[in-house]
């Protein structure tokens, strides 16, 4: 019997999708006062995928969902719920999850979106695990998807170099042995709204924030967010590992939210994990917000890095602030 608690749920299929269109750091040099060297050393990002006009969040979700279901060997009709973490859905309403439901033919599923910024996938995974634990669902499709580049201020070099667009999906079902989600934790602190926000179409658009910034783009105090992120990622990672009944030394892979290589390195160091145990793909995609963890998990599996029986720790942090972590044995 493996060390750690017995899992309730398990990821049995993963899928991803992102736009073909690539923007490199060199391309960005033509748009804002920046350079490849600064972006690479300060963030770890070399390129990102950007949505083209006419492409929608649901398009990428549907492709990711189909791939995840195919790997899981589960039919869309067998899904009890579809939970999508996104702050950039197709429409103000209905939920983008319902558009995915219709497209894949998941006629027996309830479908809803969760707004938790970069923690959206983790919040959705938490919900799926909780539904399965409560016997309210057997099979849940969990997604994290974000098209942030259409709501990026392309004249702000402090944010426009960071983001990319993508979707990731996971099929979560009941665990039958020691493989699965050993722990999943989430949290929020609404005291820091002014450090990272987007007015967009929110009802506060006549309110205070909009008076300062009446546009629909992301605003971020990068320095301050960085500081909070490192602190909360360490705390959340330790909580997730403890709840899993493990020690940090039992973790084979740290697969964190891919926001900034320096944030990730600082987190790994605080957990006593060497960088060889950290899976990074931020150089190829930038910060894809709620899609970043399923995208990194997917690549870690496809590349043969994250093998059957291995334990991965994931931690996320985003606007709100929101955060979360999970320990999963694959
Ligand atoms: C955004 C971020 C990369 C900026 O890096 P930083 O090391 O904090 O840089 P600073 O903001 O302190 O800026 C340092 C200098 O670089 C400049 N700078 C900022 N962006 C730049 C860019 N793209 N190219 C070149 N110079 C840039 C600043 O203007 C500043 O110049 P100054 O010293 O002359 O004023 C970093 O703060 C970060 O990653 N924050 C967290 C972001 C995040 O994870 N957000 C999402 C949470 S999910």
Domain range holding 236? 182-329
Verify that 217 and 258 share a domain, yes or no: yes
For residues 136-146, give the mean pLDDT: 98
Query: Residue for token digits 């972590």?
Result: 325
**Of 177, 198, 216, which closes a domain?**
177
For residues 147-174, give the mean pLDDT: 96
User: Is residue 4 in some structural domain?
Assistant: no
For residues 242-261, give the mean pLDDT: 98
- 135 phi and psi angles, rounded to 5 deg: 60, 25
pLDDT in tens, 39-74: 999 999 999 999 998 999 999 999 999 999 999 999
CA distances from 222 to 113, 225, 319 (A): 27, 5, 11
Verify that 186 and 149 share a domain, yes or no: no
**Of 177, 198, 217, which closes a domain?**
177
For residues 111-136, give the mean pLDDT: 98
User: Is residue 310 in some structural domain?
Assistant: yes
pLDDT in tens, 211-235: 455 568 899 999 999 999 999 999 9
Q: What is the pLDDT of residue 200?
A: 76
DSSP 94-154: S-HHHHHHHHHT-TT-EEEEE--GGGHHHHHHHHHHHHHHTTS-S-EEEEEEE--GGGS-T
From CA 175, how far away is CA 10, in angstroms rounded? 5
- Ligand 1 pocket at CB < 6 A: 34, 38-39, 42-43, 118, 157-158, 161, 220, 222-223, 225-226, 229, 259-260, 263, 287, 317-318
Verify that 34 and 127 share a domain, yes or no: yes
Verify that 318 and 287 share a domain, yes or no: yes
From CA 317, how far away is CA 264, in angstroms rounded? 11
**What share of the chain has pLDDT > 90, as a percent?**
93
CATH number for the domain spanning 41: value is: 3.40.47.10
For residues 244-249, give the mean pLDDT: 97
Verify that 118 and 246 share a domain, yes or no: no
- Is the model's pLDDT at 294 over the cut of 70? yes
Closest C-alpha residue for ligand 1 atom 19: 158
Between the CA of 158 and the centroid of ligand 1 the distance, in Å, is: 5
User: Is residue 2 in some structural domain?
Assistant: no
Q: How confident is the model at residue 206 (pLDDT cuts 50, 70, 90)?
A: very low
CB 269 within 8 A of CB 276: no
Verify that 193 and 151 share a domain, yes or no: no
Closest C-alpha residue for ligand 1 atom 8: 223
Verify that 271 and 306 share a domain, yes or no: yes
From CA 74, how far away is CA 142, in angstroms rounded? 14
Pocket test residue of 31, 193, 260, 287 for ligand 1, highest count of atoms within 8 A of CB: 260
Q: What is the pLDDT of residue 216?
A: 80
User: Is residue 25 in some structural domain?
Assistant: yes
Q: How confident is the model at residue 161 (pLDDT cuts 50, 70, 90)?
A: very high
Tokens linked to 296: 């990194």
Residues classed as catalytic: 118, 257, 287
User: Is residue 1 in some structural domain?
Assistant: no
Kindly state the helix (H) or strand (E) to which residue 296 belongs, with its residue range: helix 292-302
- Is the model's pLDDT at 203 over the cut of 90? no
Verify that 173 and 187 share a domain, yes or no: no
How many structural domains are present in the chain? Answer: 2
User: Is residue 102 in some structural domain?
Assistant: yes
pLDDT in tens, 90-116: 998 999 999 999 999 999 999 999 999
Three-state DSSP class for residue 89: coil
pTM: 0.96
Q: What is the pLDDT of residue 199?
A: 83
Q: What is the pLDDT of residue 204?
A: 57
From CA 74, how far away is CA 285, in angstroms rounded? 29
- Estimate to the nearest angstrom the gap between the alpha carbon of 303 and the chain centroid: 19
- Is the model's pLDDT at 238 over the cut of 60? yes
Averaged confidence pLDDT in the chain: 95
Verify that 225 and 310 share a domain, yes or no: yes
Please, what is the Cα angle at 329 between 321 and 185, to 5 degrees?
Answer: 25
Between the CA of 86 and the centroid of ligand 1 the distance, in Å, is: 25
Between the CA of 21 and the centroid of ligand 1 the distance, in Å, is: 25
Verify that 193 and 281 share a domain, yes or no: yes
Verify that 112 and 143 share a domain, yes or no: yes
pLDDT in tens, 271-293: 999 999 999 999 999 999 999 99
Tokens linked to 153: 């201020």
Closest C-alpha residue for ligand 1 atom 7: 42
**Of 159, 177, 195, which closes a domain?**
177
Verify that 13 and 58 share a domain, yes or no: yes
User: Is residue 3 in some structural domain?
Assistant: no
User: Is residue 165 in some structural domain?
Assistant: yes
């Amino acid at each position: 019997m493996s060390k750690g608690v017995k899992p309730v749920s398990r990821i049995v299929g993963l899928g991803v999708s992102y736009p073909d269109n690539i923007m490199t750091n060199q391309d960005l040099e033509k748009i804002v006062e920046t350079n490849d060297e600064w972006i690479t050393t300060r963030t770890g990002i070399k390129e990102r995928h950007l949505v083209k006009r006419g492409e929608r969040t649901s398009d990428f979700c549907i492709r990711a969902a189909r791939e995840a279901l195919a790997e899981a060997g589960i039919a869309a009709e067998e899904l009890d719920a579809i939970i999508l973490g996104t702050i950039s859905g197709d429409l103000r309403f209905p939920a983008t999850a319902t558009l995915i439901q219709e497209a894949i033919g998941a006629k027996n599923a309830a479908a809803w979106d969760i707004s938790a910024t970069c923690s959206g996938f983790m919040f959705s995974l938490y919900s799926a695990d909780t539904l399965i634990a409560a016997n309210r669902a057997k099979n849940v499709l969990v997604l994290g998807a974000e098209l942030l580049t259409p709501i990026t201020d392309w004249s702000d070099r402090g944010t426009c170099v960071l983001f990319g667009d993508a979707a990731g999906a996971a099929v979560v079902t009941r665990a039958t042995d020691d493989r699965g989600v050993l722990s999943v934790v989430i949290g929020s602190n609404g005291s820091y709204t002014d450090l990272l926000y987007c007015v967009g179409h929110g009802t506060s658009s006549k309110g205070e924030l909009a008076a300062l910034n009446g546009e629909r783009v992301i605003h971020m105090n990068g320095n301050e967010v960085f500081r909070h992120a490192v602190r909360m990622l360490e705390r959340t990672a330790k909580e997730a590992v403890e709840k899993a009944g493990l020690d940090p030394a039992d973790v084979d892979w740290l697969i964190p939210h891919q926001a900034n290589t320096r944030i990730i390195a600082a987190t790994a160091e605080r957990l006593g994990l060497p960088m060889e145990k950290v899976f990074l793909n931020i150089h190829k995609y930038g910060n894809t917000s709620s899609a970043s963890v399923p995208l990194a998990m997917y690549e870690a599996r496809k590349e043969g890095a994250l093998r059957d029986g291995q334990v991965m720790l994931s931690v996320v942090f985003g606007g709100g602030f929101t955060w979360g972590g999970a320990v999963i044995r694959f």
